[in-house]
Structure 1
Amino acid sequence: MIKISISERLKEKYKEYFNKYKNETDTYIKIKEELTKVAKNCEEMKNFVRYFCKDNKLKSGYDNKKIEDILLGKIEDFNRIIKEMEPRIPNKNKKVKYNGKEIKVSEVIFKVFNYTEFSKIHKFGYTFADEMKVDVCPYCNRQYTFTVKVKGKTVRPQFDHYYPKGLYPYLAVSLYNLVPCCSICNQSKGEFNTKDKHIFYPYEDDGGKKFKFQTKPQDDDFDYFMGLGDKFNIELIPNEGVENKKEIQAIIDNLEDAFKLKSLYNKHKEYVIHIIRNSIVNNESRIEELWSNYPEIFDSKQEIIEAIFMNYIYPKDWGKRPLAKLTHDICKEFGIISK
C-alpha cells in the first residue's frame, strides 16, 4: 500500500555484513564459505552450488554477480532467479545427507542464506529496521512499526519475506525481499505465494495510489451519511483513471487473501463515522473561518484539515501515521478534499 525505500548507506552496511573479515578484498565471504561447505558435505546439492560458480563449474570459483543478484536484486531479478534455480534443487522437504546427517533440502539452503543469524545473532535486523525508518506498516497502513532500543532491549518491526522463505529459501536474506511490517500482516501472510498471486511490492509499487477505500451502504440505508449508525461496508476498489482495472482488482482480491485487508478495515467503521461527523461540523466554511482567524497557527488549509481529522491527508505523508490512506479517501469521498 505504501512505497518504501532503502538508502545507499544501508546497502553498504548490508554488504559488509556478508564479509567475514574487515578490509578483505574479496566480497560475500560468508556466503562463499557456506557454499563451499555444502559442496563438500552434500553430494545432492552440488548442482545448487554450481549455480553460483563461474561457467557452472565448482573449480572455476564463485561468480560475485550471481551472489549479488540474490542479495541485492529486486523483484525482476527474483523472478529470473527462481526460474533458473528451481530445476537445480530437489524437493525442499526431501531429506539429504549433509555431513553424515539427514536434513531437509531447505535446511541445507538456510545454512548458506541464514536468516536466523542475520536477523538475531548479529543484530543486523535492528540495524536494518532502524536505518529504514518505516514507522507504519507498508502493507496495511494500520499499525505503527517503530524501532526502539532502550537499555539494551530492542523493539522493531517484523520482516516479511515478500517471496516466502519457506518456498524460496535462497531468498531468505535478500535485502529487497525483506519488508518491515507489523506482526499481524507478517503472520497473516505466512507462506502466501506472491510469485503466483501478485500483491503490491512495497519497494516498487505505490499501491495506495492505485486503489481507494470507499463506503457502501447496507440495504440502501444512508443514515451513516449523517454520521448515524454503521450500516455500511468499507470497500476497496480500483481508483478512477488507473489502467488495467482488472489487474488492480485481482491484486485487491489477493490482498484480502494474504492480509484479510478488507475484513480488517471494516473493523474501523467507528473511525470512519468520526470522520463523517467531523466533515459535517467542520465543513468548508468552518475551515475558511479557522484559516482566517488563526493565521499565526496554521500555514495552510491542509494543516487545518489535518488538525481537525488528526491524521495526515496527502500521499507523501501516508507512511507517517496509521490509517492515513483511509482518512484521505473518506475525506475525499465526503468532499473535504478534492484530490
Structure 2
Amino acid sequence: MYRVLLYYCYTPIADPEAFREKHHQLCLRLNLLGRIIVAPEGLNGTVSGLADDCDAYMAAVKADPRFDALEFKIDTAEEHAFQKLHVRVKPEIVHSELPVDPLVQTGIHLEPAEFRALKNDPDVVLVDMRSNYEHGMGKFTGAVTFDMENLRELPDHVAEIAHLKDKKVITYCTGGIKCEKASAYLLSQGFENVYQLHGGIIKYGIEAEGEGFDGQCYVFDNRLAVDVNKVNPTVISTCHRCGTPSTRMINCASPACNNHLALCEACGDAHAGTCTDACKADPLLRPYDGTGYYSKKPVGYTPEQGYRSRQRSKAV
C-alpha cells in the first residue's frame, strides 16, 4: 500500500539551496516521488511512497527542530500518485506576492472539530481561497468563492466581501497553506475576526468525515480529485459540454488550452476530450485515452537520473 503525504511549514530556512540538496537526497534514498518547494520562508510538499518509506521520511523531517509545528496529512493510494520527483527552491512556498508574513500574523487556527461546530453559525461566513477549477469541483455549502486563477489575485476580490467585516470569516483551502497568507492579508485589510481551517479540506475529511463539503476536492497529483465527505456527499460539478452532473475532472486535450474542467464520459468520447469545438480543431490535439490526464511520459526517467541531470546543469 502506498501513502500520499501533504504538508507545509512556515519556518526560516537560512540556506534553501543547501537544504534542497540534502532533502532531495533523502527523498531519493526513500524512493519517494512528488513535488517539494523549499524557500527562505519554509517547506511545502506532496509526496507519495510505500508506507515504510513514508514513515521514515516523516521521522526524518520531524527530527529537524525547525519543523516542530509541521503536520502531515496522510492519505492512501494503490500506487504512486506522481511520476517524477521535483525538489525546487523558490521565493515562496506558495506563490502569492501578498505583503504578509504568517510567522508575524495570521488567522486563528480552527481544528476540524471546531470548524464543524462553527461552520453553520449564522454569524460565520466561509471563504474559499482556491482557484476556479478547484472550487468548481467541490466546496463547503454556502461558501463564498472568488473568480480567480491563483492567490495573487486575492487583492482584486477582497472588496467582494468587504460588507462581511462584522462577521466571523473562516478561510479554507486544500491543505491549509494558502490560508496562512490569505487570512493574514484579510487582517491587514481591516477584517478583525479572521479564522482558518487548520489542515484544510484534506484534514477536515480525515478527522471530521468531511461533513458539509459538497462535491470532490481537487488535488495536485495523478488522482486529480478525491472524495472527502463521508456523511452527506453530493455532486456539484457539471459536465462542461452537456451540463449533466459529473465528477470526472480532466485536462482539455488541446495543449494550447489544457484547462482543468469536468467532462462526462460520453462527452469525453464524443469530443475527443476537449472543452470546445475550437479546441477539438487544434492541429496539435493530444490523443484522448479516456482519462484526460496528460502528464509528460517519463521515458527512461528515474529519480536518480533527474537528480544527476540537475547537478550537471548547475555545474555548467
TM-score of the pair, normalised by structure 1: 0.24
TM-score of the pair, normalised by structure 2: 0.25
**Greater strand proportion:** 2
Which structure: larger Rg? 1
